Structure 1
Amino acid sequence: TYFQTFRNTLIRLSRQNQDDPRIVLLTPGPSNETYFEHAYLASTLGFTLVTGEDLTVRDGYIWLKTIGGLEKVDVIVRRVDDVFCDPLEFREDSQLGVVGLTEVVRQNKVLLISTLGSRILENPGLMAFLPGLCQHLLGEDLILPSVATWWCGQEPERRFVMENIRNLVIRPIYQTQSEKAVLGPSMGEEDVQLWRRKIEAKPFLYVGQEIVEFSTSPSLIHGKMEARNTVLRSYAVADNVNNTYEIMQGGLSRSAPEKGIFLLTNQSGGISKDTWITGTSLMPKVKPPEIKQLKKSQTFIPSSTGENLYWLGRYLERSINLARYLRIVLRQYYEEDSDEPWRDHSMLEILKGLTDLTKSYPGFYNQKVSVEPAKELVELISNYHKPGSLGNTLQSFVRNGYKVRDRLSLDIWRILDSISGEIEELLRAGQELGLIHAVLDRLIIKLMAFVGLNIDTMSREVTWRLVNIGRFIESSINSAHVLHLLTVKHPPEIERHLLETILMTQESLVSYRYKYRSRIEIDGVLELLVKEELNPKSLIYQINHCDEYLNRISKGDRDNKMNEAQKKLLEISTMIRLSEVERLQGITRGHRKELKDLLEKIIRNLSEVSDVIYQTYFTHARDKYAFMSSKLPEL
């Protein structure tokens, strides 16, 4: 009922669009230590999770930049510190806020929950006056006693703090990174004198508080249970129908990361834990409010969210394909038979293909590196700082996943966290290629679990289409790069080995054997991986599905004209359909020129498709620093 009340209260408070107000939750972004809470809250309430770059001020209103254009915002639930909310009014170096937000709030053209300035209630200086305020305003004592606090802006209290400084917590009323609370008993003589000088100079900026004993909660540390200092964070929301407050039954506890730590904040490494209230009987069923007519809200995807979903799909597919390729390379590296000299040449071609795939030149084109490939292989797997490496690609995938956590199911969250753990395992494996191979096995399974859950749980709306457009574009580019191994004529033994390797990287070896029931030949491989419309790993299948999803989200115009991306995809599809396997496998001066030309055109056109998609759907408002009087651009 807490979340129901939260949502209903916001809807009732909205000044515009009372039937279906557009409510967004403003977060600092994935780098913030409480981003998980923001994403979970937005997902639970069904609000759009946004960052400052998703919002813009136009014509005196706040607008959400979506892949379909600008949409007016009615309510903002603020989770960004007020000093970062508007670089025009507060901190000019802030990249987290919205330029002009303050003026829109002043004009009552948007409802801001946690209004600007409400941070003053967190000022520890107020705690010294809470008992008196409660008596003055309510005529009663505090139900929950407040921590004894002495504000140094009053002379008797200042003297008390100075005399008892070693027995108190000294806290600045405006906590900053450079000046934080300090525990009196832990201070040396120099620290005591320093703090006394600070208090004497500006006493109104400091308070002294009694040292209280913390509650503790169990923490699993290196396989053992240990007690850690803990504070409870409870939540209440106003119920403006019944003129009361709805209290969350439970809350979040913040646990210290180490023993003896008394400053429990997420910034200092504090760990959030769910707090449940147990009882001896089942909770009574809550009767849901009567709804006269069920209404489906319109879904809007912020431009930055759309971009992150698109790249989530691309990095997902890139990670899968690269992990498979690397696993095959490691397997063949260990199984290499020195009695068959052609294998050395075949292995070199496969390694060069890996360099082409990752764009990590010179890579295996360097003769010294190709003779002893182990070091370069480890770099391409585990070096997270190396562009194109598996580690670098996985980090990009996880980073984009965390940015859109509010769009993913809880099971997908778990898989994402598990993949993040495997990245650490790759690092721990060091130079041990055998251990790396085992990690790659687990990693591929978890990546495919992510794909499966995506297929099984994600609604077939814009979110699903953006992820899969990214996947199909990336998979097509990868397939074209891998097939490029066949553009040079090789001796029969090497060519058959390359054909088998290509089929394995594309997970199509079993399909080939069932379809052709013969030894592997190039015409069958090209038919299966280029032109077979029922094979999900073929180029034509991927291009067709990419075009299908793009058509469903395309804005187009009123005449239903194709945009440039659709035209490029149609061009690629036509090229593939018009191509003939007999001509693609034809040899001219040791090269398959028609195959090479086709693959290079596909890669080039897909890069252009990606650029057009970016410009059409993900380009944010033209200028971040907009004036209040600027006109709303035509869409």
Structure 2
Amino acid sequence: MSSTLQLFDDPADSPSVAAEMQRQARPVEPGHYDELRDEQGQLRPAWQAFAEHLGAPLSDLTRRQSLLAHQIQEDGITYNVYNAQGGPSRPWSLEALPLILSAADWQALERGVAQRASLLNRVLDDVYGEQTVLRGGLLPSALVLGHPSYLRGLQGVKPVGGVYLHVVAFDLVRGPDGAWWVVSQRTQAPSGLGYVMQNRLIVSRLFPEAYRAMNVQHLASGYRRLLDTMTELASLCAGGETPRLALLTPGPYNETYFEHAYLARYLGLPLVEGGDLVVRDEGLFLKTVQGLEPIHGLLRRLDDDFCDPLELRSDSTLGIPGLMQAVRAGKVALANALGTGFLESPAVHGFLPALSRKLLGEELVLPSLPTWWCGESAAWQDVRDDLTERVIRPSYPHAGTPGFGGSSTVRQSFDAVIGRVLTPPALKAWRERIDHDPAAYTVQRFEPYPQAPVWSGGALSMRGASLRVYALSDGQGGWQVLPGGMTRIATRDAGPVSMQLGGSSLDTWVLTEEPVDTFSMLPSSIKLDELMQRQRPVASRTGENLFWMGRYTERTEQQLRLLQTSVSLQSGDDEMQASVSRALSDLAETNGLVPPGTPSLIKSPRVFERAALDALMDVSASQGAYSLGFNLGALARSAQSLRERLSPEHARLLRALGSDFQHRLTQAAMPPDELAHEHVDERGEQPARTAPPTRLRSLTQAQDAFEHLGMQLAAVTGAQTDRMTRDPGWRLLTVGRLIERLTGYAGMLKAFWENEALTHPQGFDLVLDLFDSTITFRARFQRRLEVPALLALLVMDETNPRALACVLRRLRTELIKLPARGGSHADMLALLPHEGVGVSLADLCAPDKGHEAVLALLNRLIDAGWRLSDEVGRRYFAHAEPTDSMVSA
């Protein structure tokens, strides 16, 4: 966290702040609970205390909200919106003001949430065991056994330690009388824990005095409980070894991927995707560049049906083939256990009171909203004619669920439907729809959302709010409820509470009358075996992304230098030589700056330049030109996949490359009058354009964009070279960069050599510019433009970082330091010359055979680079060798 949120505490008249809050916030709509004021219209005690400790006038909240938005942008906190135009990611939405819960409120919630979590775990134990609740009719068999998330393959299988649920989330609303109701529960892979902690870190620093003075309970011990429970259960699978844990994510395109990466980093777990894992001999293993590493515990953020394509959803590319068998064998602890998804059906809520009496011998402390599963004829008839004050929800999660009793009904998923907004014809249509397949629908009582204060547009407004709280298992039957949670608010006063529909979030402050828990996730002392465990292996997917990040970085730099050199030549006074034009045309095509088949600079220079301009920001390479836009997009995608590996500054810089480049190209193409009126918004961001910019007329207009990108790439190179840990992942990044440099620079020299462009000073100087070696050449050889001197500097000199001999020397050094897998290092080193470039300078300069010797050398090096790339992929990423050679010692 950067220091940008540090505030100046200006003195303020506290009563006036409270009075201003009370005056500005309009009364809530009838039937809604007011989180800010009591029945007499006075600020609730918690908000009175908050006003007293605000430390500034109420209007200062605008400044704090701006600081908050800046911090979100700086930290790269995102939330992916499916089907959003222009890409899936948008900044995480967080408001400055928290939701404040009193100690008395929380005590009642805490007890009720813990009881419900215990009940759900008991239900799962029974349903996958003796099934007494099904035989006794306390839970309809049709509802459970017909649910797609009930996994028959796990019937009779107890999870490790007998714990089905490790994390449970409950969505709550507060009724007009202040009573809490449970609306829904999340039992498969509850989302939000990462955002909860991120919200707390930001908002607590916005209001440091209030946060300390009001005795807000801290969160860290809850996350430690989750980690401890997972470690204890995983140790039962580890056979005496130190248990190894990981966090399973669907990948960077999941809506909450940021929090997966954040939570993994906070808990100290490797972030893995399904493709990173493999099941061998009923055990779960992580594919790493060192070999297969056992995984004993998996905190999953992937829904049940995607987890194993062999036994569950066959079209899933996100899961792990054979995971179900590993679970049956008791070789891995999953949090949460597979097969828990049927409890997320809203229909289950109607049966929980009786289940609590049966399984716990207690009445539910925290009730669900009154719920009717329409699969029970009596329940449906009870509410059929009274849908106006009800909410219609799907009983099952997705389309394609087969009908009961052999019915071929195909059920469609839909969002919750609020009866009071439906017209009479629409209500009639819904009754008929439910009559056709009643089991697919569940009806709940409509409960207006409570309304919480939000600072928006320089004033207080009241928005509908829903609270998500989390219960964390201790592995022994007890539960710890995270003191706080994720409060989501609607975009409008009474609109739907949904992040996908543009909603926002609040930090949730739970006040305590006890001492604040000051536990930190940083342990006081570390044991030696823990130190060894913290030196985590590099997952193969991570290694592959780093390898290609190195390649794309180098490739982008080479393309940029080629464009800059061409622009410099174009803007000069000298006419371009034919041999140089041929060489540049060949290089532009082979380096992806123009589509294949583009007329050369000699045949049609204007068409050639137009093609190069069109390709600059063609991120999809739709015309076959993989130019700067495409490679900048590839760099951004690799940064997204490596979020847990990169520093915030490094990640921000990689994300900014493409957007900054596009913006500068747009500015360069704007007419002067339009450019003069362009402005930035209050967050420092460029406004969205309603029309495409005017096209660039020549490459010379892009010079400013090229220069700025060059400086940014220099910073990226510095971050990769000087600010990353020298583990196998970094070495793969370096190897990728060096391979790209070897093939790229050998290709550049080959193009000029084949086209005999080095016989003219223009071509000679151009090659020196492309190799970034002009200053060194002139310092050594002045203006003696002789080919032997050029070969000595660009091919043979091991002190010149762009010279082929230096690149080869560094490659050999880094290859030796990679983990030895699938054969000795000698196999890879054999693809390269044993020393130097494999030939002498005298051979390259021989009067009779020198020309052919140089071409032969360059072709060998290009071929060696591509072969080495394939071998690195086979050895460290594909894991295609026999099993026994893959498992690391």
TM-score after normalising by structure 1: 0.84
Q: Structure 1 pair 77/351, CA: closer, same or farther in 2 (3 Å)?
A: same
Structure 1 partner of 2:730: 464
Structure 2 partner of 1:213: 449
Look up the equivalent residue of 1:299 and give its one-letter code. R
The alignment partner of 1:175 has SS state of coil
1:340-489 equivalences under 5 Å are: 340-342=574-576, 346-347=580-581, 349-358=583-592, 360-365=595-600, 368-386=603-621, 387=624, 388-422=626-660, 425=663, 431-432=695-696, 433=699, 436-488=702-754
Look up the equivalent residue of 1:9 and give its one-letter code. T
Structure 1 partner of 2:332: 110
| 1:292-332 Cα distance to aligned partner (Å, 9 max, x none) | 72332152223333222211211121122212322333344
Structure 2 partner of 1:564: 827
The alignment partner of 1:479 has SS state of helix
Residue 610 of structure 1 is aligned with which of 824, 849, 869? 869
Look up the equivalent residue of 1:569 and give its one-letter code. L
Q: CA deviation at 1:146?
A: 4.6
1:72-91 equivalences under 5 Å are: 72-91=294-313
Q: Is the 8 A contact 1:7 1:45 kept in 2?
A: yes
| 1:12-67 Cα distance to aligned partner (Å, 9 max, x none) | 11113355212122222222222222222222222222222222222222222222
Q: 2: distance between equivalents of 1:364 and 1:276?
A: 63
| 1:211-243 Cα distance to aligned partner (Å, 9 max, x none) | 53375787999x999998665544443345894
Q: Structure 1 pair 140/515, CA: closer, same or farther in 2 (3 Å)?
A: farther
Q: 2: distance between equivalents of 1:528 and 1:420?
A: 34
Look up the equivalent residue of 1:500 and give its one-letter code. D
Q: Does residue 68 of structure 1 match 2:302?
A: no
The alignment partner of 2:713 has SS state of helix
Q: 2: distance between equivalents of 1:272 and 1:621?
A: 46
Look up the equivalent residue of 1:538 and give its one-letter code. A
Q: Is the 8 A contact 1:229 1:255 kept in 2?
A: yes
Q: Does residue 313 of structure 1 match 2:577?
A: no
Structure 1 partner of 2:63: none
Q: CA deviation at 1:606?
A: 0.9
1:331-342 equivalences under 5 Å are: 331-333=568-570, 335-337=571-573, 340-342=574-576
Structure 2 partner of 1:275: 507
Q: Does residue 504 of structure 1 match 2:769?
A: yes
Structure 1 partner of 2:255: 33
The alignment partner of 1:77 has SS state of strand
Structure 2 partner of 1:200: 435
| 1:228-263 Cα distance to aligned partner (Å, 9 max, x none) | 86655444433458944151x655555668998626
Q: Does residue 56 of structure 1 match 2:278?
A: yes
Q: CA deviation at 1:358?
A: 2.4
Q: CA deviation at 1:78?
A: 1.6
Structure 2 partner of 1:628: none
Structure 1 partner of 2:840: 579
Highest CA radius of gyration, 1 or 2?
2
More divergent stretch after superposition (234-243 vs 354-363):
234-243
Q: CA deviation at 1:454?
A: 2.3
Structure 1 partner of 2:233: 13
The structure in which a higher percent of residues are helix is 1
The alignment partner of 2:832 has SS state of helix
Q: Is the 8 A contact 2:466 2:497 kept in 1?
A: no
Look up the equivalent residue of 1:546 and give its one-letter code. L
Q: 2: distance between equivalents of 1:32 and 1:117?
A: 21
Q: 1: distance between equivalents of 2:800 and 2:709?
A: 24
Q: 1: distance between equivalents of 2:455 and 2:854?
A: 60
Q: Structure 1 pair 342/455, CA: closer, same or farther in 2 (3 Å)?
A: closer
Q: Is the 8 A contact 1:531 1:540 kept in 2?
A: yes
Q: Structure 1 pair 488/3, CA: closer, same or farther in 2 (3 Å)?
A: same
Q: 2: distance between equivalents of 1:226 and 1:519?
A: 75
More divergent stretch after superposition (108-117 vs 128-137):
128-137
Q: Structure 1 pair 511/91, CA: closer, same or farther in 2 (3 Å)?
A: same
Q: 2: distance between equivalents of 1:440 and 1:346?
A: 22
Q: CA deviation at 1:458?
A: 1.7
Structure 2 partner of 1:626: none
Q: Is the 8 A contact 1:394 1:423 kept in 2?
A: no
Q: CA deviation at 1:434?
A: 5.9
The alignment partner of 2:320 has SS state of coil
- Give the aligned CA root-mean-square deviation in angstroms: 3.9
Q: Does residue 539 of structure 1 match 2:827?
A: no
More divergent stretch after superposition (224-233 vs 541-550):
224-233
Structure 2 partner of 1:43: 265
Q: 1: distance between equivalents of 2:441 and 2:265?
A: 39
Q: CA deviation at 1:159?
A: 4.3
Q: Is the 8 A contact 2:585 2:601 kept in 1?
A: no
Q: Structure 1 pair 314/342, CA: closer, same or farther in 2 (3 Å)?
A: closer
More divergent stretch after superposition (9-18 vs 345-354):
345-354
Structure 2 partner of 1:627: none
Q: Is the 8 A contact 1:9 1:238 kept in 2?
A: yes
Q: Is the 8 A contact 1:429 1:435 kept in 2?
A: no
The alignment partner of 1:355 has SS state of helix
| 1:335-375 Cα distance to aligned partner (Å, 9 max, x none) | 143xx334576455323322132284223437554343332
Q: Does residue 620 of structure 1 match 2:858?
A: no
Q: Structure 1 pair 289/49, CA: closer, same or farther in 2 (3 Å)?
A: closer
Q: 2: distance between equivalents of 1:277 and 1:434?
A: 56
Q: 1: distance between equivalents of 2:508 and 2:558?
A: 43
Look up the equivalent residue of 2:774 and give its one-letter code. L
Q: Structure 1 pair 82/244, CA: closer, same or farther in 2 (3 Å)?
A: closer
Q: Structure 1 pair 246/321, CA: closer, same or farther in 2 (3 Å)?
A: farther
The alignment partner of 2:287 has SS state of strand
Q: Is the 8 A contact 2:489 2:497 kept in 1?
A: no
Q: Structure 1 pair 371/175, CA: closer, same or farther in 2 (3 Å)?
A: same
The alignment partner of 2:831 has SS state of helix
Q: Is the 8 A contact 1:353 1:482 kept in 2?
A: yes
Q: CA deviation at 1:467?
A: 0.7
Residue 594 of structure 1 is aligned with which of 853, 862, 867? 853
Aligned residues: 613
Q: CA deviation at 1:421?
A: 2.7
Q: CA deviation at 1:128?
A: 3.8
Q: 2: distance between equivalents of 1:323 and 1:6?
A: 48
Q: 1: distance between equivalents of 2:450 and 2:845?
A: 75
Q: Is the 8 A contact 1:231 1:264 kept in 2?
A: no
Q: 1: distance between equivalents of 2:426 and 2:375?
A: 21
TM-score after normalising by structure 2: 0.61
The alignment partner of 1:170 has SS state of strand
Q: 2: distance between equivalents of 1:449 and 1:207?
A: 56
Q: CA deviation at 1:198?
A: 2.1
Structure 1 partner of 2:687: none
Q: 1: distance between equivalents of 2:718 and 2:308?
A: 41
Q: 1: distance between equivalents of 2:568 and 2:463?
A: 46
Percent identity between the aligned chains?
Answer: 29
Q: 2: distance between equivalents of 1:443 and 1:224?
A: 41
